[in-house]
Amino acid sequence: MFQYHCLNPISKTGLDLFSDQYRNTEEMKDADAVLVRSAKMTEMELPGSLCAVARAGAGVNNIPLAECSEKGIVVFNTPGANANGVKELVIAGMLLASRDIVGGIEWVEQQKNQEDIGKLAEKQKKKFAGCEIAGKKLGIIGLGAIGSMVANAASGLGMEVYGFDPFISIDAAWNLSRTIHHSKSLDEIYTKCDYITVHVPLTDDTKGMINRESIGKMKDGVVILNFARDLLVDEEALIEGLREEKIKKYVTDFATPAVAGLPGTLVTPHLGASTEEAEENCAVMAVKELRDFLENGNIKNSVNFPACDMGTCVAVCRIAITHKNIPNMIHHVTKILGAEGLNIADLTNKGRGEYAYTLIDLESAASKETLTELQGLEGVSRVRVIK
């Protein structure tokens, strides 16, 4: 019996995928796995029973990754599950920035008691006129699940799309329309494009990437869209760019004190993945990831441990080991197993940076003493018997 705990409301469509071998616990201290959306886990005490965390979404800034990695807790996310919802909001953001739809709606609301509102509208509508996005150049920084969807949708709307992503995956490349221009540098995006949208994770390298220097390279009247992470944009440089009318509009899904209500901005309250479909898709993917990990030891879409798949567990015994990615670890593990006379039917070892993961199928069950000896190896954080 496995126990899971939900730190946020999780779609029933996903939770219904748990079998009768799973029980929802109200106490995190009893959980084998945690499902989370936006709850801040960085200040929570992680129980010793916890071996997996699944984020129903892409970003994991609210999860203490370093601590989880050190304790052998595998952290999953759900890349692409909410991509369509974010894509649609990005397209909506471009349209709102191009034509003063919001200003027009507000004007009508203010004039709602005027009997001749129709005639007044004809006189006033020029104030809210804008431009069409067809034929304009759109620059996309980051061509992952969301960026590639935005690229294809914008191309279908008649935009000339430029994409920059030096780390583009094979799947994303295959899914891109052949009309997309593949930029070899960010400077091409900055200097050529009328609209620029950012779809990269927040790292030390990307933090504040939209700054005074990059804005200075952009075309006058550029529209910047940020539906990825607020800290990708240097807000001081942004405010200066808006004040000097270098930037026509800044559209973002992140309300901060600096941009909320700022002239020239369109700010939504983190609505990107807030659709019924996105929440269901994220929940379904998160639950499937947890079940495959807990029942078979397989890892897919982890942000802190390598992908590893040995299929459905049919062996007499399967052991999962999270450990540091250091020399001779497999030698020490197999030596301990061999000392008990255990024959290895299959073994997979994968490394990712500082950490590694090993799955071992045995032809007979390992004793408690052997498992304790494995747990005691230097560099081993967790030994788990799958079966």
Q: What is the CA radius of gyration of the chain?
A: 25
At 59 the pLDDT is 83
Quick one: average pLDDT of 342-355?
A: 97
**Confidence bin at 68 (pLDDT 50/70/90):** very high
**Fold annotation for 306-387:** Alpha-Beta Plaits (3.30.70)
* pLDDT value of residue 173: 86
Q: What is the fold, at CATH topology level, of the domain defined by 89-98+132-267?
A: Rossmann fold (3.40.50)
Q: At residue 313, does pLDDT exceed 90?
A: yes
Q: Check if 1-82+275-304 and 306-387 are the same fold.
A: no
Q: What confidence score (pLDDT) does residue 172 get?
A: 83
pLDDT value of residue 169: 84
The mean pLDDT of 50-68, rounded to a whole number, is: 94
Give the three-state DSSP class for 228: coil
Output the CATH code of domain 1-82+275-304.
Answer: 3.40.50.720
The average pLDDT across 250-269 equals 96
Mean pLDDT over 316-342 rounds to 97
Q: What is the pLDDT of residue 72?
A: 97
pLDDT surpassing 90 at residue 170? no
- Report the predicted TM-score, pTM, of the whole model to 2 decimal places: 0.82
Residue 150: phi and psi, rounded to 5, are: -60, -40
Q: What is the DSSP letter of 233?
A: B
Q: Which residues, other chains included, contact 20 with Cβ-Cβ below 8 Å and sequence gap of 6+?
A: none
* Both structure tokens of 58: 């892409």
Please give the backbone phi and psi of residue 250, each rounded to the nearest 5 degrees, phi first. -120, 120
Q: Other CB atoms closer than 10 Å to residue 369's CB: what's the count?
A: 10
* pLDDT in the model for residue 228: 94
Mean pLDDT of the chain: 96
Per-residue confidence (pLDDT) for residue 175, from 0 to 100: 86
Confidence of residue 383 (pLDDT cuts 50, 70, 90): very high
- Domain borders along the chain are 1-82+275-304, 89-98+132-267, 306-387
